Chain A
């Protein structure tokens, strides 16, 4: 054996200009759709981007210190403060003349629908120039799957073991009612639509919000390779419609055909395994009702 090689350098070489902004080696669960979703978001946005990431699955994926899986600056605020923190960051960049740098939020549904909702509503009222992504896995999955106000009706979680007794909050329409320039839903199961929406939002100013359905393998009880198929089924049955709402009034339904019953979607998930036939029918009726409302909005 020859002489010992030179010590490995602790300084990394600068990334290639085409290197992905989400690095391999991150801490997401195997099979999770969230890093895949993020990779495409950042690919569209590019490196002139700063992220605000509250406690959530994404915060785990982004860390831990001294490592970062993201090649962009990240500020991790308290759980309930993402939109307020993003507002402060946005205004600081504006004060420095950096108007083109995108300030994005990557928050979970708990940090958006629940504890972070007050400051999100306020940021929307002020129409702060931020791009807010809600990575919606329909519960507090990072703490082991408890219900949030995004958890759907009848879904079983750690805090609703017999099934949730109330419906999922309609975040998109609530945010649209603020009159923000852009509110949309997207899904990694429909990639072209997702990338187009991020591109469209990137080119706009003001508060833009995109919710992204992230099927949670553990929290929803999916097969290890089930994330993408479940994401597609959610859209195809109408439980998670792909929608764009511009200026709070102009509605577009991006996947206008429903091609399968809700029961198909429920059957993929252990969190619905306890459902009675009546409950399944009730969920189908709720989805039908929501779909009809969207159709009216689109036609209006």
Chain B
């Protein structure tokens, strides 16, 4: 292992922009939206200063951003973009299109409430609502993790030819200043070889993408997409392990925090995990066997890793900072599905905590744990504050 430069203070957004710069994308279509805009602005600053040699496109909408990303990627160049909330929703049609085209685009998404009514607060409904689009999805907890994950995302995307979305919570991660170690360019170059796909849009060997196919061809295409998704957990773990060897930083596909012999385990994604660590520490200090399972890779859902990590646990407390009307918390339902049929399966409690960006304090999380231990689990998610 070698050592990086001394950490500097960066917001999550600026850490994302640094990661994008270090990954050397050649085409960057991007549209401004709160709270993602600082990513765009730092990238254009980098370019203006001569440090970022990418074709930056500034179309009239996020829809056109993603529309430009896909054929650029299919032409064989590395593509990056960033968005949030309504922008991600406007891209929805193209998210499916990108995955279907097997375009390894990397996109940062700042998780923000979706309208209406208008709001700008941390809430992951925007991206969990895209879980069926064929994008690999990561959720990060800190600015450093955002930087490292964007770089890892390019490696994974280009190995399986699927797009990757790196999600960071509005403001808690996107705007909070934290010490971030920015790796040297040479270190990233050694980790991330130039993108050189075997097939591309090329006048030297004319072929195309998008032609109408038969039901059989479509069916086989979806099976290949599924097989590519199936390779992701192992490749994501490998990408993380290699990164750790080069930088000393590892984040895991899932992270088990103080889960040894835990009777109750909190499961969460993104910045809620930072708060949950505080709650776990306090509960452990009080002699309670409580841990945290941080889900970093949400799509594909690493079900085998979740089942292994939660075997023998009495109570699982799922904290959802998202809301699917008529379903409840998406992570709650995903956990119920992933653990269904396990011998001596844990009791799964789903709490809608932090929806709309309301604050979730460590002592409230401790209270949710007490409640879960005292109550029978419900099939639906419960609103908590």
Contacts and interface: CB of A to CB of B under 8 A. Distances in A.
B64 A81 contact: yes
Interface string A62-73: 111110101111
A91 B209 contact: no
B71 A75 contact: yes
B55 A91 contact: yes
B250 interface: no
A274 interface: no
B59 interface: yes
Contacts, number: 148
Contacts of B206: 47, 68, 70-74
B60 A121 contact: yes
A75 B209 contact: yes
B282 to A, nearest CB: 50
Given A65-B211, A77-B71, A72 B203 contact: yes
A52 B55 contact: no
Contact of B211 (A64, A72, A101): A64
B58 interface: yes
A88 B70 contact: yes
A73 B202 contact: yes
B70 A85 contact: yes
For chain B, give the interface size range. 35 or more
A81 to B, nearest CB: 4
A96 B210 contact: no
Interface string B79-99: 100000000000001100100
B303 interface: no
Given A64-B211, A76-B211, A91 B72 contact: yes
A92 B76 contact: yes
B68 interface: yes
A122 B65 CA distance: 11
B180 interface: no
A254 interface: no
Contacts of A76: 208-211
Contacts of B94: 78, 81
Contact of A77 (B26, B67, B73, B202): B67
Contact of B212 (A63, A75, A94): A63
Given A73-B203, A121-B60, A94 B211 contact: no
B27 A95 contact: yes
A77 B76 contact: no
A96 B78 CA distance: 11
Nearest to A54: B210
B211 A91 contact: no
B194 to A, nearest CB: 11
B59 A94 contact: no
A122 B64 CA distance: 9
B77 interface: yes
B203 A48 contact: yes
A86 to B, nearest CB: 8
A76 B26 CA distance: 22
Contacts of A72: 203, 206
Contact of A50 (B73, B97, B201): B201
Contacts of B70: 77, 85, 88
Given A84-B67, A122-B64, A95 B57 contact: no
Contacts of B209: 74-76
Nearest to B77: A92
Interface string B42-76: 00000000000011011111011101111111111
B217 A96 contact: no
B98 to A, nearest CB: 11
B203 A50 contact: yes
Which of B55, B202, B211 has its CB near the most chain A CB atoms (within 10 A)?
Answer: B211
Contact of B75 (A65, A89, A121): A89
Contacts of B346: none
A93 interface: yes
A53 B210 CA distance: 9
A72 B202 CA distance: 8
Interface in A77-118: 77-78, 80-81, 83-89, 91-96, 98, 101, 118
A85 B65 CA distance: 9
Given A65-B214, A70-B208, A77-B70, 9 more contacts: A77-B210, A81-B94, A84-B29, A88-B79, A91-B68, A92-B27, A95-B55, A121-B60, A122-B59
The 3 nearest A-B residue pairs measured at CB: A76-B210, A88-B68, A74-B208
Interface of B: 26-27, 29, 54-55, 57-61, 63-65, 67-77, 79, 93-94, 97, 201-203, 206-214, 217
